[in-house]
Chain A
Amino acid sequence: AQRVTQPEKLLSVFKGAPVELKCNYSYSGSPELFWYVQYSRQRLQLLLRHISRESIKGFTADLNKGETSFHLKKPFAQEEDSAMYYCALIQTGANSKLTFGKGITLSVRP
């Protein structure tokens, strides 16, 4: 069965510091990976997906199939990045079932 692991619950950094939110997955096929974000008092929303290879709000994530990782990175954190971040995957050829990690709280201090 597929699994998504986010090993840390909380990451606290100062504004301008680099950020890396870790995500590892286990799945035998070729999954599609996502990062979702939930800002305070807002709904869960898609931040980025690996197939689009975009940089959203300065965040990037590269799928490393060898290490089965999909870490989220940003070189210079901003206070408005403070939020809950969830890594998720969809398995190949299936429905749209998302398997989420437990999430990590990012706190960016001024």
Chain B
Amino acid sequence: DAGVTQSPTHLIKTRGQHVTLRCSPISGHKSVSWYQQVLGQGPQFIFQYYEKEERGRGNFPDRFSARQFPNYSSELNVNALLLGDSALYLCASSLAGVRTEAFFGQGTRLTVV
């Protein structure tokens, strides 16, 4: 099992652009969560999806959106990128939607210039 896979691993974008990050959960996992980790900080919750429905949303602006597909993979979209969006974006998958162990991917390193 490859675990949670994220793509791309690294990305450089210009301010104002749009970005799409992708995540494939562990086979059989139906829940995907997204986290933003800024240098020197712990991961901060952005979204959780379970069975293709949004189950939770963190304190992020509407420029951030996500969705989950029928195969349980997920995309995180960020519009109108700001320099402050530069971070490591982590995806985590879990079996169910509530209080089950989260398995993390390696992350996507986004740099906004």
Contacts and interface: CB of A to CB of B under 8 A. Distances in A.
B40 A95 contact: no
A43 B40 contact: no
Nearest to A52: B101
Interface in A68-104: 86, 88, 90, 93-103
A98 B45 contact: yes
Contacts of B97: 95-96
Contacts of B33: 96-98
Interface residues of B, number: 30
Contact of B44 (A44, A96, A100): A100
B31 interface: yes
Overall SS of chain A's interface: loop
A46 B105 contact: no
A95 B107 contact: no
A102 to B, nearest CB: 5
Interface stretch (B11-19, B20-28, B48-56, B76-84): B48-56
A32 B90 CA distance: 21
B3 A43 contact: yes
Interface of A: 4, 6, 32, 43-46, 49, 86, 88, 90, 93-103
